[in-house]
Amino acid sequence: MSLIDRVKNILLTPKTEWNVIDNETATPQSLLTGYVVPLALIPAIAVFIGMGLMSTSVLGIKVGGNVTFGLAMAVSSFLNSILSFFIASYVIDALAPSFGSEKNINKSAQLVAYASTAMYIAGVFQILPSLSFLGILGLYAVYLFYLGLPILKKTPQDKVIVYMIVGAIVIFVISMVVGFILNRIVYGIVGNPYAVDVSDMLKGIKI
């Protein structure tokens, strides 16, 4: 199945597509090269355009228009997607027995990779800082995760919601922690052109 067809099917007809996926053979490595990497380029390229080529003003502060910083943040976004996919796959798999689910790293990797499709696609909104809030549409990934659990992980129906909530929190925290670390590295190498001293922000404000 082509990448485009898989993306379209998992987003539009997820209940049917999870059954198709369950009959496929995949590994974390094959999913990384064949699915995660291509889709991870979407938010990465959007970040580069938004932070490196575009320019706007947020609360009086110029954001964007710095090619070096935009490129560095794009690399950070790309690495975050890859590292988060691997870490989340193994953590979700390790948690499986606690929710009466099947421990199978290949199925866990499929679940994380394909459920994350919504987040990868929603990353396109980072092309404009003013539209970045629309990234919340990526929360559709939680619903995709919910639908995939009983099919891929054989999760009992009475434990699906709890596993979904825990899984969503785990994936979110992993992404935030990895992103924070990578961004700290970026700031250490190229600096943060948008860092503003609090005292500067207070200048001119009369109380």
What are the boundaries of each domain within the chain? Answer: 3-193
Q: What is the pLDDT of residue 197?
A: 40
Q: List, in order, residues 6 or more apart from 56 with CB less than 8 Å away.
A: 62, 63, 64, 128, 129, 130
Of 113, 175, 174, 123, residue with least CA distance to 145: 113
Other C-beta atoms lying within 10 Å of the C-beta of residue 135: 16
Q: What is the pLDDT of residue 195?
A: 57
Q: What is the pLDDT along the chain (207 residues), one digit of tens a residue?
A: 799 999 999 999 999 999 999 999 999 999 999 999 999 999 999 989 888 776 555 544 555 567 888 899 899 999 999 999 999 999 999 999 999 999 999 999 999 999 999 999 988 888 876 666 676 777 899 999 999 999 999 999 999 999 999 999 999 999 999 999 998 888 888 777 665 443 444 444 444
pLDDT of 133 reads 67
- 148 half-sphere exposure, CB direction, 13 A CA radius: 31
Q: For residue 172, with 0-12 CB atoms within 10 Å meaning exposed, 13-18 middle and 19 or more buried, which class applies?
A: middle
How far is it, in rounded angstroms, from Cα 112 to Cα 1? 18
Element (H, E) at 143: helix 140-152
pTM of the model: 0.83
pLDDT at position 62 is: 57
| pLDDT confidence of residue 69 | 85
Q: What is the pLDDT of residue 132?
A: 64
pLDDT reported for residue 193:
65
Span between the terminal Cα atoms of the chain, in Å: 63
- Closest-CA residue to 85 (of 64, 47, 113, 105): 113
Query: Could you tell me if 109 and 115 are in contact, meaning their C-beta atoms sit under 8 angstroms apart?
Result: no
Residues 170/98, Cβ–Cβ less than 8 Å: no
Report the alpha-carbon distance of residue 152 to residue 31 in Å, rounded. 15
Degrees to nearest 5, angle at CA 193 with 202 and 189? 135
DSSP state of 50: I
Write the single-letter amino acid at 125: F
